[in-house]
A and B are shown apart, each in its own frame.
Chain A
Amino acid sequence: MSERVLRVAVPKGSLFPESVDLLGQAGLDVTGLDDPGRHLRIRNGDVEFIIVRATDAPTFTAYGGADCAISGHDTIVEAGLEVIELVDLKFGGCRFVVAEPEQAAERVEASYRSLGTLRVATKYPRITKAYHDSIGMQVEIIKINGNVELAPLIGMADRIVDITATGRTLRENNLHIVSDVMESTARFIANPASLRIDRRVRELADTLRGIAADKTPSAPIAGSANPTKS
């Protein structure tokens, strides 16, 4: 088989520095990737890195645009696309929670009793729906793209589902955690076809598995690499 270029999608944002480090440790030539400037594609030999928005990493991978990628588990679940989750890379830990305003518990409960549904604001509608389905609670979801904490404070929603690391942003906005939804870390993912026909994808997965096995898991609360939430 002629060697095609192996295309690896690297998420920009909070996961980026550790992703580059890890790919370097795994033996890939990451020259130029650490400081890509405005470049979106960096080709070193038969490996090409593409720099994608973190939420798009599963999309690029599922459609075969990239053979493999690094992506947060939360992003993979939210995308709902066909990718293969191969390795827990044990960084970028964060936790998904349901939160509501302090002292609102009683009002929210009463509202749920009389209406049979709650309004939940979130950036992650799929995760929010799956979680509430799993606990048998009917909710109406409002998709918001940022500053989700605002929604319950101004009465637009009863609760939110969002990422938290230390819980500080929640506390500063007088929100408290109602329940845990899921935990997430960065994962190495592959396109189904690439995994089966390109041995380099499998080799990279094996190498990364070895590196990750030597790491202690990052504590989901203290060790977060997500700068947008603290």
Chain B
Amino acid sequence: MLPQTPRGFRDVLPDEAAWRASINDDVQDCFASWGYMPIETPALEVLETMEAAGGVTAKPISLFDSDGRVLALRPDVTVPIARLVASRLSSEEGPFRFRYKETVFREEENLRAQAREVTQLGIESIGLVGIEADAEVISIFVEALAACGLRDFTVVICSVDVLHALIAGACMDGGWERAVLSAYHTSNFVELEELSRAEGVADGFGEALRELPHLRGGREAIEGCRAMMGELGCPQVPISLLETWDILEACDVTEHVVVDFSILTSFDYYTGLVIEAYAPGSGTALGSGGRYDTMLASYGRDLPAAGFAFSLERVMQALAEQGELLRKRTPDVVVGGSDSASVFRLAAELRAEGAKVCITAEEDVAAEAMRLGSRRWCTVDAGTGRSWGGQTDE
């Protein structure tokens, strides 16, 4: 029987691993250039502790340890970082700016061809509020995706405040409110339309609810939202989104940013800004994020927070879609020969110059260089010394 990895887990071979590392380096450099510091959390968490934060929709992979506790492989990184800030960093004031690359694990049904292990690159901005904090998170998202080498991508933003204001203003009971949220979360805009026509919905609010998922565009979409909310007596609701947009526009970030109120779908713990990123042919979002000012309070520390994460694997799919191919990585030079000490000395000299050098014990150094795809080689023999060989571009 062929030994296999568990469904949804896979090995990464050297050429791809090298590509992943180089993308991650570029992204982490981008995060670091905004003053974000690396942080690591454990692969396993106590399931109950993760669930205390609420809002995680992904189903974790859980297991018992020998103490009989139920543990979960971390289903995301946001919640562990919130836990960490509320516990180990409780005596530090903040604000905190963290960046990470972690694998996250999610249970997926069989026959759905979904990975159960996903590599997330992301940031958390904790203790910062206001339009500047929101603009920072959006800008970094755009810059990070560009740093991956993506040319064609869209970062979609909106604010849940508008939906919450409409639901509150509709003056309906809790059952209706939950049904509206559920219709939004399951992206069932047909159901939303029916709910908006329910008897008793306050004048104008039903119409606005129907309109909301279709509001889309640049500045004008926020202006449109403001006009709509203005007629309902709450023009201040989308103002912070508008001011955030102004900052983005001044920094030329808006080329890749679109406002779209149909994306309030993925989580219910967002308290303001919501972000999702898409690329052509990606099928699903590359990543998502937003503001969750109430999450840390569930661990007893009342700090605002925002952040995002995207999947390295999905970004690489999008790169493939735009024509980037996996490159074969080869050593720069292959050295070998009968005089082993001299071979090692030469290799050390070449490495010091920055070359990637493979040492071979094969007699035919040229053949070994060809096999490894290297264009230069050198044979060092006790009698004849160094004899160089090479291949020029055909």
Chain A residues at the B interface, C-beta cutoff of 8 Å: 1, 4, 62-64, 73, 82-88, 187, 191-193, 195-198, 202, 206
Contacts and interface: CB of A to CB of B under 8 A. Distances in A.
A196 B187 contact: no
A188 to B, nearest CB: 9
Given A85-B191, A187-B190, A195 B283 contact: no
Given A82-B284, A193-B280, 14 more contacts: A4-B280, A64-B281, A84-B187, A85-B186, A85-B189, A187-B190, A192-B278, A192-B285, A193-B281, A196-B154, A196-B258, A196-B263, A197-B279, A197-B280
A191 B284 CA distance: 8
B283 A86 contact: no
B190 A196 contact: no
A64 B154 contact: no
A202 B216 contact: yes
A209 to B, nearest CB: 9
A144 to B, nearest CB: 19
Interface in B180-212: 186-191, 193
A1 B152 contact: yes
Given A64-B282, A196-B156, A83 B190 contact: no
B134 interface: no
A64 B152 contact: no
Contacts of A4: 280-281
Given A191-B283, A197-B280, A85 B258 contact: no
Nearest to A194: B283
Given A196-B276, A196-B278, A84 B284 contact: no
Contacts of A84: 187, 189, 262
A89 to B, nearest CB: 9
A206 B193 CA distance: 14
B260 interface: yes
Given A63-B283, A64-B283, A196-B154, A85 B190 contact: yes
Interface in B243-299: 258, 260, 262-263, 265, 276, 278-285
Contacts of B276: 196
Contacts of B156: 196
Contacts of A1: 152, 280
A195 B262 contact: yes
12 contacts: A62-B283, A63-B113, A64-B282, A64-B283, A82-B187, A85-B187, A192-B284, A193-B281, A196-B154, A196-B278, A202-B214, A202-B216
A206 B216 CA distance: 13
Nearest to B283: A64
A83 B187 contact: yes
Interface string B106-127: 0000000100000000000000
Contacts of B283: 62-64, 191, 193
A87 B213 CA distance: 12
Interface residues of B, number: 27
A205 to B, nearest CB: 9
A75 B100 CA distance: 39
Contacts of B260: 196
B262 A64 contact: no
B381 to A, nearest CB: 56
Contacts of B262: 84, 195-196
Contacts of A206: 214
Going nearest first, the 6 A-B pairs with the smallest beta carbon separation are A64-B283, A84-B187, A85-B188, A88-B190, A193-B278, A85-B190
Nearest to B156: A196
A86 B187 CA distance: 8
Contacts of B285: 192-193
Contacts of A86: 189-190
B190 A87 contact: yes
A82 B187 CA distance: 8
A145 to B, nearest CB: 16
Contacts of A82: 187, 284
A152 B199 CA distance: 40
Nearest to A61: B283
A6 B22 CA distance: 33
Contacts of B258: 196
Contacts of B280: 1, 4, 193, 197-198
A73 B154 CA distance: 29
Contacts of B279: 193, 197
A73 B190 contact: yes
A196 B281 CA distance: 11
Contacts of B191: 85
A181 B283 CA distance: 32
A73 B282 CA distance: 25
Contacts of B216: 202
Contacts of B214: 202, 206
Name the residue in A64, A73, A195, A196 with the highest tally of chain B Cβ atoms < 10 Å from its Cβ.
A196
Contacts of A198: 280
A193 B284 contact: yes
Contacts of B113: 63
A1 B96 CA distance: 38
A191 B281 CA distance: 10
A187 B194 CA distance: 14
